[in-house]
Amino acid sequence: MLVLGIETSCDETAVALYDGEKGLVANRVFSQVELHRRHGGVVPELASRDHIERLLPMIEAAIAEAGIAPQAIDGIAYTAGPGLIGALLVGACLARALGYALGLPVIGVHHLEGHLLVPALEPGAPDFPFVALQVSGGHTLLVEVRGIGQYRILGETQDDAAGEAFDKTAKLLGLGYPGGPALAALAERGRPGAFEFPRPMLDRPGLDFSFSGLKTAVVVAVRGLELNEATRADVARGFEDAVVDTLVAKSLRALRATGHEALVVAGGVGANRRLRQALKRGAEAMGARAYFPRPEFCTDNAAMIALAGHHRLAAGEREDLAVRARARWPLDELRAPGASMGPDFPASGS
């Protein structure tokens, strides 16, 4: 089965074609970073308009890249949520229109399910079950993944996501948008231990996270300081070390609690070099293994949407013609492939 994947949940327009036998045969991503940089963050209306302008030409380019005719596509998968509702509706409406015109089944995919399954695009992917650390600008959670659609949330952030804390701290230090990668680059020049920030919630049992207090600690630490380049680098290093230590400790705690021997790291923050190194060392020390998608699969992409959609369509899952999009969509509402999404999934909105 050849599935066209469409991703428009936020500020990347992405299109991919996934074949159940050949694997990924086309993958295109356009980042809106330059569009939003002048505003210091994502502007939802601008994101939606840019998706409208770019999506159909990108689909045509992906089809040409794969060397196929549109009629060779067997199904279409699009990101139905969570995300910016206007951006989601762009992808959802085009997917439904193409499906109707070509007579193809179309299915809405949960954005986080795509991230959790994306390691399957890499050689040597782990078997089920495993623990996944989903860590990005909008989400930080630990999930037990027993199979496709079989997810148990072990812990999640009680306030800011890790990537959100990265971005806010970067703004405090005068770094540009997007702040997370800029802060990580600055931290490479910082001195370890020059600033010691708290490791939130490590002193209590459980697997939940909290990063708002860490962000506040940075604000207090820099108050009244002259933020020259060296000091900014030291603050960035101290902040990054605190986040990495927290994510690693909780992830290893989740492995111990479940008894699983595989840890999958997904989401944009999963591309952080220091986090990858620490998780790899920590997992190996306890006889487990950490799996990391390539960096382009950590950020939002349509390859993961095509893959997740392929699993569900191949299992016979089908939807009606309603355009479905949800700004908020709890991961634990998902069911295994073949089970109906049910009437509790509204046509649009949150």
Task: Please report the pLDDT score of residue 337 as a whole number.
Answer: 85
Say if residue 346's pLDDT is above 70.
no
Lowest mean pLDDT among 124-138, 210-224, 328-342: 328-342
* Inside any domain, residue 342: no
* Inside any domain, residue 341: no
Mean pLDDT to the nearest integer, 244-255: 98
Domain count, the chain: 2
Q: How many CB atoms lie within 10 A of CB 147?
A: 11
**Ramachandran class of 162: left when φ > 0, alpha when ψ lies in -120 to 50, beta otherwise:** alpha
Mean model confidence pLDDT for the chain: 93
* Inside any domain, residue 285: yes
Confidence of residue 178 (pLDDT cuts 50, 70, 90): confident
* Inside any domain, residue 343: no
Q: Is 157 found in the same domain as 92?
A: no
Q: What's the CATH code of the domain at 55? A: 3.30.420.40
Q: Is 37 helix (H, G, I), strand (E, B) or coil?
A: helix
**CB-count exposure of residue 165 (10 Å: 0-12, 13-18, 19+):** buried
Q: Is 237 found in the same domain as 195?
A: yes
pLDDT tens across 31-89, in order? 999 999 999 899 999 999 999 999 999 999 999 999 999 999 999 999 999 999 999 99
Q: Is 191 found in the same domain as 253?
A: yes
Confidence of residue 339 (pLDDT cuts 50, 70, 90): low
* Inside any domain, residue 340: no
Within 8 A by CB and 6+ apart from 241, the residues are: 187, 192, 197, 274
Q: Is 264 found in the same domain as 307?
A: no
* Inside any domain, residue 15: yes
* Inside any domain, residue 339: no
Q: Is 7 found in the same domain as 60?
A: yes
pLDDT tens across 85-143, in order? 999 999 999 999 999 999 999 999 999 999 999 989 998 999 999 999 999 988 999 99
Q: Is 208 found in the same domain as 69?
A: no
Q: Is 231 found in the same domain as 328?
A: no
The DSSP bridge partners found for residue 24 are: 18
Say if residue 340's pLDDT is above 70.
no
Within 8 A by CB and 6+ apart from 304, the residues are: 5, 7, 114, 115, 117, 118, 121, 297
* Inside any domain, residue 348: no
Q: Which helix (H) or strand (E) holds 326?
A: none
Q: Is 37 found in the same domain as 101?
A: yes
- Nearest CA to 237 out of 281, 274, 201 is that of 274
Distance (Å, whole) CA 155 – CA 202? 13
Q: Is 157 found in the same domain as 173?
A: yes
Confidence of residue 338 (pLDDT cuts 50, 70, 90): low
Q: Where in the sequence is the domain holding 173, given as residue range(s)? A: 128-292
Q: Is 288 found in the same domain as 310?
A: no
Within 8 A by CB and 6+ apart from 15, the residues are: 4, 5, 6, 7, 26, 27, 28, 55, 58, 59, 61, 62, 302
Q: Is 232 found in the same domain as 155?
A: yes
Q: Is 155 found in the same domain as 104?
A: no
Structure tokens at 99: 């499906």
